[in-house]
Each structure stands twice: as structure tokens, then as C-alpha cells.
Amino acid sequence: MKKFLVYLPSILLLVILFFIWEAIVDVFNINSQVLPAPSAIFSAYIGHATILIPHIMTTLIETLLGLICAIVLGVFTAILLRLSATVRKALYPLLIISQTIPIIALAPLLLIWFGFTILPKVIIVTLVCFFPITVAFADGMEKVSQQIITLLQSMKASRLQILFLAELPGALPSFFSGLRIAAAYSVTGAIVGEYVGGYQGLGIYMQNAAHSYAVVLVFVVIIITSLLSILLFGAIVLLEKIFVPWRN
């Protein structure tokens, strides 16, 4: 109950903002093609739920696959950065430079290389999520108490033993911090990939709705995207409570 009360002010503020939004649309008689009211958006979702569910599932699968790939690659890369100072000096600047490349520019190239399959979307989600996971985990391992490492060294622990006994467990809070950031952007990454090209997904549905001037359906997709991101974020928080109980 106490955990819920922490989020109560945010929930109340969100409800108030929706009521204000509804009132502004009603009072000023704003055309739904310009700004639909929240009630109209909810009604549109109910009316199109059957059509939307396959699109939601497609986007969710792409997101989860990309996030899993990013976790695997991110953890592996972070460990390499920690184990080898040479690798860190060579690779870390490239990781920073990679973030200057806009994903929307890579999406058409991935589409040309891999076609209208799920693979380009998964790659885009992986690229979006990879950097925060890698950097957070690598920095977390660097911040592990030197006293613990010195103690293990005095006990003749090998480099790998120090890694698995001290650095990896000690870096878990940082890892989950990076994972929360990645989860927040993962759904958007999948939709960007779909928007460039695909057969099914929320990005395709949004594109078709925009071309049909169905503004209310565009808002439906925006809200669904936000809800999926929040659910993923909440799932990561729950996993953190399980795997990092000492932080609670």
C-alpha cells in the first residue's frame, strides 16, 4: 500500500490533466480532427480493439526480442570494457560516436538490407537499448568498492573470481538503472522501425491512420505506446526488487 501511495500524486495529476483536456475540447468546441477529447480516444480504442490487438502483439514481440538482444550484447560488451583497459580505450569512444547517428537514418538501410521482416525492427530496438545498458553496467562495475576487491585479492582470488563475486553483483543496481532507461525507449524504437517499413505493428497502424486523417486513432496509438513503455518499466522495477533485494 505504501508503494502505491508514492505514485498517487502522479496518478492524480494525470487524471486532472485528462479532465482539463476534456473540458478544453468541450468548451472551445475543438474539431476532433484537430484535437480529440480523451473520451473520444477511449471510444475509438474500444471500437478498434479487435484490429489493434494483433498490431500491439507484433510491436511487443519486436520490443522484447530487441531488448533481450540489447541486454545480452550490453552485458558482454560491458564485461569486455571492464576486463581490458585496451578494449575500453578503443571501444568506449566508438560507443559515444554511435549515439550521434540518428536511428531514423539507419532504418531505411536496414530495410534495404533485411527486407520487410521482423529483423530490422529488432535491430533498431537493440541499437536504441544497447548504449544505456552497456554504459550503466560498465560504470557500475567501476564503482564497486575497492576495499572488497582488495580483500578478494588478498585471498588469492583470480580476476574472473573478482568479476563474478564482487563486480557483477555490485554493478546490478547500475545495470537495472540503465535497463529502465532502455525499456522506456524500446517501444518507440520498434515503432520507428515499423514506420519506415513493415506489414503489421503499431507504427504501420499509426501511419495508415495519419494518411486517412484519423487523428483520434493516432492518439490511440500514442497512448498505447506510452502504456506499453510504462508496463515494461514497471516489469524492470519488479525484476530489480527480486534480483537486487538489498537496494529496497
Residue 142: other Cβ atoms inside 10 A:
15
What grid cell was written down for 177?
538503472
What confidence category does residue 42 fall into, taking pLDDT thresholds of 50, 70 and 90?
very high
Helices marked H in the chain — which ranges?
Answer: 2-27, 38-83, 85-98, 103-114, 119-142, 146-154, 159-162, 168-170, 172-196, 202-211, 215-243
- Percent pLDDT > 70 in the chain is 96
> Cβ distance 22 to 37 under 8 Å?
yes
* pTM of the model as a whole: 0.89
pLDDT at 4: 56
Given a cut of 60, whether residue 102 has pLDDT beyond it is yes
Which of 148, 165, 176 has its CA nearest to residue 245?
176
pLDDT surpassing 70 at residue 247: no
pLDDT for the residue numbered 111 = 82
201-228 per-position pLDDT tens digit: 999 999 999 888 899 999 999 999 999 9
E strand or H helix that includes residue 1? none
The 10s digit of each residue's pLDDT in 114-149 is 887 889 999 999 999 999 999 999 999 988 888 888
CATH entry, 52-247, from 1.10.3720.10, 2.60.120.280, 1.10.645.10, 3.90.650.10:
1.10.3720.10
Where along the chain do its domains lie? 52-247
74's CB contacts (< 8 A; 6+ apart) are 129, 130, 133, 134, 137, 178
